[in-house]
Structure 1
Amino acid sequence: MINVLVADDELPAVEELAFLLRRDPRIGTILRATNGPEALELLAANPVDAAFLDIHMPGLSGLELAEIIGRSANAPVVVFVTADDDRALEAFELAAVDYLLKPLRNERLTRTVDRVVELVAHPAQAAEVEMITVDQGGISRIIRLDEVRFVQAQGDYARLHTAEASYLVRIPLAELEKQWADSGFIRIHRSYLVCMAFVTGLKLSAAKPTVSVGSAALPVSRRHVTVLRERLEATRVRPQK
């Protein structure tokens, strides 16, 4: 069980996030604050494992609050919650574990809690989050590499698919295959790379092999079936000898 703080200058937003967090059995005590100074007072009296901070709070913003929290010993991990994504780079420079966009989605929040629980349980294993810049509608955005589920070739471009959206980047699929091999991405088709962490199903013996990533069924070329089988066998649970 982890204890958390929720800080947002809008009380309905505080209550909504607290309600969603309360539904997760891994969440223990939930402290609530409606401004930065109140959050600091609560943290001084009640150490928590994670702080969910709204960025745009008057007086003391979530970014400023995170910077103050980060100076203390045994600081909680920080998750930013905001209605816009133009401060993502600043957020991750402050070592935030995640950056949630409003309106909140339960599936997305669950993945954030997964990360928080993992970091609390194994703080020594914390690794720097790799960020990538993408363009969408003429706006440059920062997203986490570990949010990319699969990549689809589109000529000299590649489309990155996350749970929430897709982003077109000007780089060939073959180049991304080389760059992201160590991040769990493998080639399954001339037009697709897939992150094995998001694979939910495999049909490799069918006439048309496919890989399931969420609700998407991606084609698998015959020449890539062997590699996928090897990856599948490597993750199979076996009795100890």
Structure 2
Amino acid sequence: MGWNIVIADDEAPAREELVYLLEQCEDVDKVTPASSGMDAIKKVKEQAPDVLFLDMDMPDLNGLQVAEIVGEINPQVKVVFSTAYDQYAVHAFKLRAFHYMLKPYDEEDIAIVFRELRKVRMQNGSGVLVHPSTGMTSIKLALELDEGITYVSPKDIMYISKELKHVQVHLRDKAYSVSYTLSELEQKLEPFGFFRCHKSYLVNLASIAEMKTWVNGAYNLLMDDARRSCIPVSRNYVKLLRLKLEI
């Protein structure tokens, strides 16, 4: 089932650009534009969308006001805020925003949103993945090695890396080469606080010790393992990573 989406932005060029980007996504069925806060509420009532892309700064009702009203009308709608200003982020997430994009956004920003949406849909549909908050602390990741199967608790994994075709699961003082793909591990471990920060790296958010600026808007992460491993963060992932890490 494809995604049904409503976009609310009072600026026509920004609205049309977002419509175009979303229509390039193969699993999007319908995109309905709205030109104001009140229009957004009307379209949500009419269309019952899965996702609402919502501009913060609109002349009649701002994004926070619209999100609050939409939450009462249809609490199942995933709200993705889009704005040129990052000072609204804290308020947005208090309203249980699904995601937050800073303008100008591009294809990678959209890809990140849909990667998260697909995970949620898959988890809700399958019931396979279990979040640690359930108290099921015995859940472990099975690593098939030459000598047999090793079971590793997600909390003991610092990060996962990929070099060429080889994927390694790194603990505090050792690493295992595994047959999983990085995408498979991302799917299995995301509910346990893991984050894809780079095309070749998946990190345990709880094991990040420092975040250091690098070049061209990118960062490096220093991990809390025995070697203080340095992990690159792609520029496109920095905003989302900070939102996930910081109070």
Could you tell me which amino acid in structure 1 is paired with residue 228 of structure 2? R
Could you tell me which amino acid in structure 2 is paired with residue 6 of structure 1? I
Deviation at 1:50, TM superposition (A): 0.2
Aligned-partner SS, 1:71: helix
Paired residues for 1:74-153 under 5 Å: 74-123=75-124, 146=195, 148=197
Q: Distance in 1 between matches of 2:3 and 2:99?
A: 16
Q: 1:43 to 1:61 in 2, by over 3 A?
A: same
Deviation at 1:190, TM superposition (A): 3.0
Q: Distance in 2 between matches of 1:126 and 1:105?
A: 32
Residues 7 and 34 of structure 1 are in contact (CA less than 8 Å); yes or no, is this contact kept in structure 2? yes
Look up the match of 2:3: 2
Deviation at 1:7, TM superposition (A): 0.5
Structure 2 gaps, min length 5: 132-192, 204-208, 236-247
Q: 1:146 to 1:56 in 2, by over 3 A?
A: farther
Structure 1 gaps, min length 5: 128-143, 152-156, 178-186, 195-211, 216-241
Could you tell me which amino acid in structure 2 is paired with residue 50 of structure 1? V
Q: 1:95 to 1:159 in 2, by over 3 A?
A: same
Q: 1:147 to 1:99 in 2, by over 3 A?
A: farther
Q: Percent identity?
A: 31
Deviation at 1:9, TM superposition (A): 0.6
Deviation at 1:66, TM superposition (A): 0.7
Q: 1:214 to 1:38 in 2, by over 3 A?
A: closer
Deviation at 1:72, TM superposition (A): 2.6
- The answer as to 2:77 corresponding to 1:25 is no
Could you tell me which amino acid in structure 1 is paired with residue 67 of structure 2? A
1:159 to 194, 198, 211: 211
Deviation at 1:2, TM superposition (A): 0.6
Look up the match of 2:228: 190
Residues 69 and 75 of structure 1 are in contact (CA less than 8 Å); yes or no, is this contact kept in structure 2? no
TM-score, length basis structure 1: 0.57
Aligned-partner SS, 2:73: coil
Residues 55 and 82 of structure 1 are in contact (CA less than 8 Å); yes or no, is this contact kept in structure 2? yes
Aligned-partner SS, 1:96: coil
Deviation track 1:121-158 (CA, whole Å, cap 9, x = no partner) reads: 4448798xxxxxxxxxxxxxxxx99475579xxxxx83
Q: 1:21 to 1:145 in 2, by over 3 A?
A: same
Deviation at 1:214, TM superposition (A): 6.0
Look up the match of 2:50: 49
